[in-house]
Amino acid sequence: MNQTNPLPSLSRRCFTCNSCRVIQKALLVLDQVSVCKIITELQDIEEVIPFIFDPNGNHVIQKAIQIVSTFAKSAAEHGDIDEAINLMNQIKFIIDDVAANVEKLSKHRYGCRVIQRTIEHCPEEQRDEVLTKICACHRSLIEDQFGNYVIQQALSIGSEDIMAVVVETLSEGDLIFKFSKHKYASNVVEVMFQSATPDQKEAVLNAMLQDFEGTCGIVQLAKDPIGNYVVKNAIDCAEGQQKEKIFAAITSNRQELVSDYVCRFR
């Protein structure tokens, strides 16, 4: 063997298609001690971001977050707090880089997946660190083709802080119309309705029912190729008198809706 050209390190193998699959499988099936040995070797890397931006490396980072977080939660549930903290520290080098680059990662094809795995699997302390950063840049993520998935995931796991800032943003001025007609942002609006409290739904519905461009806003959305899906979702998720408000607005504008192509054929 040529001693001047040693085999690539484990971290370098994360960048190759076949090797990254083997590493992911190892993380999935090996015991906790063996997994921690793999993570320890990965800790030698200077930056996590290049791995996250790589089409192969990002999968290893996602799997590391998922598996080690599962071990940490299990230890905490069994009362071994010291072990749980030790396991959290194993992936601290990943979470630190993720938290420091939340907006950039959330807007990246592969980075958004790592952010989602972080808020989906990490113990509360690490998850909340990332969620706080997401709150700070949520507006720019709602309309982004990848960032919108991060907001959807945060809403789906029940983050009260994310829900509060999203509802506040959607209720501001006429932003609900802009977002509901947007290819990516409309998905966030729909997930918001599915996860929000009755009071939060009420706030956003009131914004949708205000006048917009000379007519009831929800009627304008019903006529939009994308917005009509938001209206249908709002109807499905509305509660009690909220449905009555929507139906009253639709009924009073029935002729306008019936004559509209989108409303007739959707």
DSSP characters over 143-163? TSTTHHHHHHHHHHTT-HHHH
Residues forming a β-bridge with 216: 211
Its pTM stands at 0.89
Please give the structure tokens belonging to residue 215. Answer: 């007519």
Which pLDDT band, with edges at 50, 70 and 90, does 174 fall under? Answer: very high
Contact 155, 199 (CB under 8 A): no
pLDDT digits (tens, 9 = 90+) for 122-148: 999 999 999 999 999 999 999 999 999
Which pLDDT band, with edges at 50, 70 and 90, does 260 fall under? Answer: low
Residue that is written with structure tokens 């083709």 in the block: 145
Report CA torsion sign: 97, 103, 106, 108: negative
Q: How far, in Å, CA of 32 to CA of 67, rounded?
A: 9
Which pLDDT band, with edges at 50, 70 and 90, does 8 fall under? Answer: very low
Which pLDDT band, with edges at 50, 70 and 90, does 261 fall under? Answer: low
Residues forming a β-bridge with 211: 216
pLDDT of res. 170: 96
Mean local confidence (pLDDT), 35-47: 90
pLDDT at position 258 over 70? no
Mean local confidence (pLDDT), 32-53: 92
pLDDT at position 167 over 90? yes
Please give the structure tokens belonging to residue 69. Answer: 């977080």
Which pLDDT band, with edges at 50, 70 and 90, does 263 fall under? Answer: low
* 239 Ramachandran zone, left/alpha/beta (phi>0; psi -120 to 50): beta
Mean local confidence (pLDDT), 35-56: 92
Q: How far, in Å, CA of 114 to CA of 53, rounded?
A: 10
pLDDT of res. 91: 96
Q: Which of 47, 56, 46 lies closest to 110 in space, CA to CA?
A: 56
pLDDT at position 235 over 90? yes
pLDDT of res. 65: 97
pLDDT of res. 20: 95
Q: How far, in Å, CA of 64 to CA of 98, rounded?
A: 13
Q: Residue 61 is inside which H or E element, if any?
A: helix 57-77
pLDDT digits (tens, 9 = 90+) for 68-109: 999 999 999 999 999 999 999 999 999 999 999 999 999 999
